[in-house]
Structure 1
Amino acid sequence: MKPTKQKQIIVCFDGLFPHGGLVDRLKGIISFYQIAQILGYDFKIIFNNPFDLNLFLEPNNVDWQIDTSKMRWHPTKSKIVYLVNNFEVNPLKLIKNSKAKQFYVYANIDYGKIIFPDLKTEQLENKWRSDFNHLFKKSELLQAKLNEIATDPFIAFHSRFTTLMGDFKDTTTKILSKDQQNTLCNNLMTIINRVKTEQNKSAFVFSDSINFIKFVKQNTQVNIVEGNPFHMDNFINNNNIDGHLKTLIDFFMIAKSDTVYFLNVKPMYNSSFSKYAAIVGQANFEVLEA
C-alpha cells in the first residue's frame, strides 16, 4: 500500500520483536489509535504473529485490517517507530513532529497519561474502554467459546507466577522449591477462601501457572476454565491456537466478573492483565497482598 495523502499509523505485531503478552500488545494498539484520532491519521493494525488477531477480535467501528501484500516501503515517507518498553518518550509529539507520511509502530505501553495529561484515572480508563470497544468486537469463535461457560454472577481471582512454579519458561528464571510452592499455594487458597466466604459468590481462579490451577482444582470448589495458560512471547509451540484462545477466554471472563482480585503475595509478580480486563468489563478491581 503506497502512502496516501492522509497520514497513516500502522501498529505492527509481525514477529520481528518480542512485545510481551496480550495486554501489552493491546496497550500499544490503543495508545496509537488514540494518537491517530487526535491527529486525524488513518489507523491500521498488523497482528499476524503468533496468530491472526481477527481469529478472536474483529474490526468493530474501525476498519483496521490491512493487506500486507500491497504495502510498499518508501525511503523518505515511511518511518519505523520502535518504542517497545520505552517509558520516556512522548509518542504524540514524536508522530506529530515527524515529516513522514506513514508510521510502522512497534509499541507495548499505555501512554494514556502522557497523551491526555489532564484526564484523571477514571476518565483515562473510560476512554481506554471506549476506544477498545470502538476497535474490536469478539469473533464468532471467541463468543461461542465464552457462551459455553455458563455462569451466575461471580468474582475472579488472578495470579501471576511466571517461573516460580516451574511449569514454563519466561523472562524470569526463579523457581521455588516444592515446599515453597506448596506453602505459597496454601497461603493463596486461604486468601481466596476468605474473600469467597465474605462475598458469598461463585468464584473463578485465573493464573499463568497450570500447576496452581491444578492445585485449585484438586483442593477446592472454586471454578477454573480448562486449558493450559502460556505467554505469547515465550511459548515454544506458539502456533497452538487453543492456547491463544485460552488467553482471550480468560481475559473476557475476568472482564465479565463482578470484582477482580489480583493476588500479589511475595515473591509473586505484578501483572496488568486482570487490571485491563477489569477496565474493559467495568468490573471492580482490588489488589490483595495478604
Structure 2
Amino acid sequence: MRKLIKKYLAKQFYFFKWVMRYFKSISFSKPEQKQIIICFDGVFPHGGLVDRLKGIVSFYQVANALDFDFKILFYHPFDLERFLNPNQVNWFIKPEAIKWHPFKDQFVHVVNDFNVNPIELIKQKNANRYFVYANIDYGRTLFPHLNKDDLAQKWNKDFTSLFKLSDVLNQRLQDINTSNFIAFHTRFTSIMGDFKDTTSLVLPEAAQEQLKYKLLEKIKALRANKTAYIFSDSINFINYLTANSSIKAVEGLPFHMDNFEKNTQIEGHLKTLIDFFMIAKSSHVYFLKAEEMYNSSFSRYAAIVGETPFTHIDL
C-alpha cells in the first residue's frame, strides 16, 4: 500500500511540474487527428542519448499502431534538429506551437517505468493529445511475436523512418577517416574518477590501473591488427589506450546529456552524436564490461542503426 501511495504522489508531483511549465499554453482547440507528442524539454531528466531515442522510437511505434499523429518536442539540452532531421515522418514541432487542452489532453510520465504496456496505457486514457515523457524501449511488449533479430530490424526501420543526419552532423562524420574499422566501447561512469554521473564510486588508483591494463590486453587480442577506434565515457581510459596502442579516438571530451554540471556546450552534445554514428559505421562493435563497470546499451543501439555485428564481452 505504501508503495502505491508513493507512486501516486510521485505522479501527481510530475504532473504539477508539467502544468507549471505549460500553464500559459492552455487552449480549448483540439488536433484534427489524435496525437502523441514525446517531450524533451528540461522538465524531467531522461538519461543519455540512447535512452531518449528508445522513448522516441517506442512511442512512434505506439502512434503507428493506433494511427495517431506523432511529434517530437526536443529542445533541451539542445535542439534535436541541429543534428537529426525528419526523414519520412514530419515529427518536428516548435515549443511555441504547443497547445494544452486541460480536459481533453493527457500527461504521460513513464520515465524508467519498465512494467507498463504503452499501447494499453494510451487506450485507457482516451484523450485527444498525449504529452509523453519516456526513455524505455518497449519493443518486447509491443511486438511479443518478434524474436531478438526481428526486433532489431523493426527498431532500425522505425529509426530510419524518423531520422536522417543533419548537414552539420553529416559533414563532421565525413571529416573523420572511417574506412573499414572496428569499434570498442566501454562505460565506466564514475569509477575512473573523471566522470560525474548517477553513481559516485571511484576505484583506488591501483585498481584503476589494473582495470585499464586488463581492458587494453583484451582489446589488443580482439583487434588483430585491424584499424580500431575506442569510444568511452572516460577520457582517462581513452588517453591510456591511445598512448599504449595505435588505437584511434575521436577528438573531444566524453559527455552525458543529463550530466550534473548543467554543461550546455553544443560541442559536447555533437561529440555524443558523432560517437554514436561512428560506432554505427564500424564493421564490428565490441562492448567490453568488467564486473565493476556499467552495462551500457549505447553501442548496441548504434550497431542496430548501422546493422553492424555486435559482441558483448564480459571480462
Q: For the superposition of Structure 1 and Structure 2, which TM-score range results when normalised by the shorter chain?
A: over 0.9
Runs of 4+ residues over 4 Å off in structure 1: none
Instruction: Indicate whether 1:244 and 2:269 are aligned.
Output: yes
Q: Which residue of 2 aligns with 1:17?
A: 44
Match of 1:87 among 107, 114, 118: 114
1:1-290 map, 5 Å:
2-197=29-224, 200-290=225-315
* Aligned 8 A contact 2:178 2:281 in 1: no
1:47, 1:71 → 2: CA distance? 12
Superposed displacement of residue 81, structure 1: 0.3
SS in structure 2 opposite 1:234? coil
2:161, 2:153 → 1: CA distance? 12
The residue type paired with residue 48 of structure 1 is Y
User: Structure 1: any 5+ residue segments left out of the alignment?
Assistant: none
Q: Report how many aligned residue pairs link the two structures.
A: 288
1:71, 1:225 → 2: CA distance? 38
1:184, 1:71 → 2: CA distance? 49
The residue type paired with residue 222 of structure 1 is I
Percent identity over paired residues: 56
1:148, 1:237 → 2: CA distance? 29
RMSD: 1.1
SS in structure 1 opposite 2:173? helix
SS in structure 2 opposite 1:142? helix
1:87, 1:273 → 2: CA distance? 18
1:78, 1:37 → 2: CA distance? 19
User: Structure 2: any 5+ residue segments left out of the alignment?
Assistant: 1-26
2:52, 2:178 → 1: CA distance? 28
2:260, 2:75 → 1: CA distance? 16
| TM-score (structure 2 length as normaliser) | 0.90
Which has the higher mean CA deviation after the structures are superposed, 101-110 or 258-267?
258-267
| TM-score (structure 1 length as normaliser) | 0.97
Offset from partner CA, 1:99-152 (integer Å, 9 cap, x none): 210000000000001011111111111010011010000000000000011132
* Aligned 8 A contact 2:181 2:228 in 1: yes
2:255, 2:75 → 1: CA distance? 18
The residue type paired with residue 239 of structure 1 is T
Superposed displacement of residue 261, structure 1: 0.4
Offset from partner CA, 1:193-215 (integer Å, 9 cap, x none): 00012xx4211100011111111
Superposed displacement of residue 237, structure 1: 4.2
Offset from partner CA, 1:233-260 (integer Å, 9 cap, x none): 0152431111000000000010011110
SS in structure 1 opposite 2:100? coil
1:170, 1:72 → 2: CA distance? 34
Superposed displacement of residue 12, structure 1: 0.3
2:145, 2:90 → 1: CA distance? 29
